[in-house]
Structure 1
Amino acid sequence: MKIHHLSENNTVLNHFLAQIRNVNVQKDRLRFRRNIERIGEIMAYEISKELEYKSVAVTTPLGTKDTTEIKHPIVVASILRAGLPFHQGILNIFDEADNGFISAGRYTIDGGDAFEIKVEYEAMASISSKYVLLVDPMLATGQSIVAVFNKLIEKGYPQEIHLAVVIAAPEGIALLEKELPENCHLWIAAIDEKLNDHFYIVPGLGDAGDLAYGSKL
């Protein structure tokens, strides 16, 4: 797996990352969602550098111009619900992409910290021979992404898979390297220290879904 760690270089991306972590800024849900969306836009631009392009001729009012465009169709697929603002940011750049939405949730076992991942809802465009951008803001244990990936490839195999996350824990990265194909790309805005005993990222930012949309039942 090829890992792209974007915050290793100082860019405006780090400015947005600082704001989504800040407990005082987090109180503004609109700003939180917009910053996640901005991070998605930046990441989509970086992903675009790794895609394959083809030559095309464009007709202008005064002639023609030889240029390039992305060779294969794109599907942007997000894991509900925290992935929605991130999804929108990526879609702002790849505006002609097809879309997919999948739910993958933690379900505790016997009321303890142990849990399993269940994929319960899926609305997915065809992914065969396309670039698939699977987006989820938080990569904690990695189990959700592995479960969703295995569900997706039941319907065909894409041209290329790009996983996009905002904040990742080393434990989640290690699982993806073990379980997913070598030709996957993993795009990470920031890599944090570790998971705590409850499998949440430290220092992280809290629950991205709750910060974007309010607490759930």
Structure 2
Amino acid sequence: MRLLIVEDEKRLALSLARGLTAEGFAVDVVHDGLEGLHRAGTGTYDLVVLDIMLPGMNGYRVCSALRAAGHEVPILMLTAKDGEYDEAEGLDTGADDYLTKPFSYVVLLARVRALLRRRGPGASPVLRLGRLAVDRGARRVERDGTAVQLTAKEFAVLEQLAVRPGEVVSKAEILEHVWDFAYEGDPNIVEVYISALRRKLGPGLIETVRGAGYRLVSGG
């Protein structure tokens, strides 16, 4: 999953990015509202963490502009303000959740995961395909009832396939959602992780569709 953090407190933004990256998310960071609106408007993000007090354009306006343009990306608002009227204003502009600074990173991570589970297709916390179960909340994978140990990145790649079972997911789509905007390495890194998943999960689950991408199937 690919996240965008729009936060002008650079130390906080870096801390959040490091923590979320360690959890297997691809994370991009910007520090002003106008750039945040531009990035979020590309439609490549699965969730936006959006501060309210931003230079250029405040978070309320960014959120409102995204919703007016038809973007349904989940938005978690952050602010140093408190009080029910501030929270109501954030939610009224289209935010999905609200967190007041200072906050616990553990709480933020739980809110992020909850919002991702609620969104669109594959919203169930546990995705099942034949003998495979992918628990998005616990970040746990089982095949035939036996736990399979995956790295954070391996889980992220598998999740992209599991939310679209039976569909072909291109290498570009996996790169877009699992690696961040700054990634400039070899796109064949996806093949490395697919090979690792096949080795750990066993044969018959991940098909290669030549020239198109990969597909998770239930025949394995």
TM-score by length of 2: 0.34
Higher strand share: 1
Q: Which has the higher contact order (CA 8 A, sep 6+)?
A: 1
TM-score, normalised by the number of residues in structure 1: 0.34
More helix by share: 2
